[in-house]
Amino acid sequence: MILAAAILLMIGQACNTKTEKQEIMESDKNELNAIFPKGEKGSEEFFTGNAYSIRLVESNSIHTTLAGNVYFEPDARSHWHTHPSGQILIITDGVGYHQIEGQEIEVIKKGDVVKCPPNVKHWHGASPDVGLQQLYIIPNTEQGIVEWMEPVTDEVYNAK
Ligand code: MN
């Protein structure tokens, strides 16, 4: 009996240890490794929730290209929008969502590269539990940068 009780106690301790490790790993997932300064909080006119952006490359006559970084806290996302010359996203940390109108939400994560074609209505942002850090590149800025539209409703966001 004593031996059985001791074994049960050991099993119990082993389970507890595993649970603690899992919790630590899960909390680590929510901490993104910042590469660039966080930048300015995005306007409620264009974003739902807490999003921060910083411009890294300004467009000029030699390079008609914009590049910058956006950090979305969990649950934050852009409003629907289009880019006249398209956009390239490079995900540098976290987990997020990208959706082209009429298509399913696509999960995007660290290391992914996503191309948004010109004039295609879409949105991008964090997942509900983990933030997203993304670089954006907008080429051919002489054609325009972004056309903002309506917010992404909770119904659309939670459809994933
Ligand atoms: Mn976009």
In whole angstroms, give the CA distance from residue 114 to residue 136: 10
In the reported structure, the alpha carbon of residue 12 is separated from the centroid of ligand 1 by a whole-number distance in angstroms of: 49
Q: Are 105 and 159 in contact (CB under 8 A)?
A: yes
pTM of the model: 0.80
Calculate how far, in angstroms, residue 144's C-alpha sits from the geometric centre of ligand 1. 13
Give residue 33's pLDDT.
83
How confident is the model at residue 89, as a pLDDT? 98
Fold exhibited by the domain 35-157: Jelly Rolls (2.60.120)
Q: 103-121: per-residue pLDDT in tens?
A: 999 999 999 999 999 999 9
Separation in Å, CA 1 to CA 4, 6, 12 = 5, 9, 16
Question: What average pLDDT does range 97-107 have in this prediction?
Answer: 97
pLDDT interval class at 1 (50, 70, 90): low
Closest-CA residue to 76 (of 55, 57, 53, 110):
53
**What is the C-alpha separation between 127 and 129, in angstroms, rounded?**
6
Q: Which residues line ion ligand 1, judged by CB < 5 Å?
A: 87
